Amino acid sequence: MARNQEIKYKCVLSTLKKGERPCYRAIPVSNGVISLDQLCQQVAESVGLQASTIKYVIELLSNQVVELAKNGVNVTIPNFFRTMLSIRGTFDAADALYDKSKHELRLNMNPSGEIMKALSGAVGVNITEGNRCRITSVLDAVAKEEGVIVGDEDVEVYAAGGTFLVNTHAEDEGVWLENAANEVVAFGQVTASTATTLDATFATLPEPGDYYFCVATRGGLGPEYGVSIARKPVVVRAE
């Protein structure tokens, strides 16, 4: 039985906003890029033609597609690609005129046939590497009660654990509070972070109740590594 083709990928944390559930998105890892000249050479060798001939035909095809698009004509080539015109932007009325400052005509190209199905039998392989973060303790600067955060505004919170080293310049690293549905309800600003301790300030807190204190970090590793998310139950109380 033939083995399925494998495509490697790495996971990165998606951009977080209040009310959203933290999740990861996958980025395929490329096995390289070949130039037009290299592609033409490979094709030429497989069919017994000159590479310059293959390149010339490609250029003719490209130029013709451009000319057809300028005349509002779509192109469909089975097992290759199809083109479709679209207009970017919205109109205030059904009879509104085209405005180049707000609208843009675009030529979209989509694979078709066998090219579109090129990866139908492939499987993804996760090769994400990274440290694993953990939280052992959370308390605030006032009540200093384990697992409790008290206050309304500008609340300082201290956490202890392992593999913190949060990069405050990375958009996908930081701290926040989640509700029971794992939705982000409040963000904190990391003011200090070592491997085992973390200080953060919350400008505002959610309504009193049960939440999760969350830390996202690469543990001091570079941007090519994955982000680990640690969670610890906490209780938010009003002053």
The answer on 225 and 153 residing in a single domain is yes
| Residue 15 pLDDT | 80
pLDDT band at 239 (very low <50, low <70, confident <90, very high): confident
Domain membership of residue 110 (yes or no) is: yes
Quick check: is 1 in a domain? no
pLDDT tens for residues 166-190? 999 998 999 999 999 999 999 999 9
Angstrom distance (rounded) from CA 208 to CA 187: 16
CATH classification at residue 18: 4.10.520.10
Whether 138 is in a domain gets the answer yes
Look at residue 2 and tell me whether its pLDDT is greater than 70.
no
d(CA 157, CA 149): 7
Whether 236 and 209 have beta carbons less than 8 Å apart is answered as yes
- 92 part of a folded domain: yes
Number of domains, the chain: 2
Is 97 in the same domain as 166? no
Residues 53 and 115 in one domain: yes
Both 56 and 138 in one domain: the answer is no
In this prediction, residue 1 carries a pLDDT of 41
| Degrees, nearest 5: CA angle 223-229-232 | 155
Q: Is 119 within 8 Å of 5 (Cβ atoms)? A: yes
Q: Do 211 and 188 belong together in one domain? A: yes
Q: Last residue of a domain, which of 126, 149, 165?
A: 126
Are residues 11 and 122 located together in one domain of the fold? yes
| Alpha-carbon span 94 to 181, nearest angstrom | 42
Same domain, 121 and 168: no
Whether 105 is covered by a domain: the verdict is: yes
Range of the domain at 204: 134-237
Cα-based angle 111, 114, 118 (whole degrees, multiple of 5): 85
Question: Average pLDDT, whole number, for the chain?
Answer: 94
Q: Is 193 among the domain residues?
A: yes
- Which of residues 104, 126, 148 is at a domain's end? 126
The pLDDT of residue 115 is 92
Residue 186 to residue 207: CA distance in whole angstroms? 10
Q: What is the pLDDT of residues 4-31, one digit of tens each?
A: 789 999 999 988 889 999 999 999 999 9
Split at pLDDT 50, 70, 90, the class of 152 is confident
Q: Give pLDDT tens digits for 199-235.
A: 999 999 999 999 999 999 999 999 889 999 999 999 9
Q: Of the residues 74, 102, 126, which one is the last residue of a structural domain?
A: 126
Both 187 and 228 in one domain: the answer is yes
Same domain, 145 and 122: no
pLDDT digits (tens, 9 = 90+) for 57-80: 999 999 999 999 999 999 999 999
Q: For residue range 28-41, what is the model confidence (pLDDT) as tens digits?
A: 999 999 999 999 99
**Angstrom distances, CA of residue 5 to CA of 118, 119, 124:** 10, 8, 9
Give CA–CA dist 10/31, Å, rounded.
13
147 and 116, same domain (yes or no):
no
Q: Are residues 117 and 21 in the same domain?
A: yes
Same domain, 97 and 167: no
Quick check: is 85 in a domain?
Answer: yes
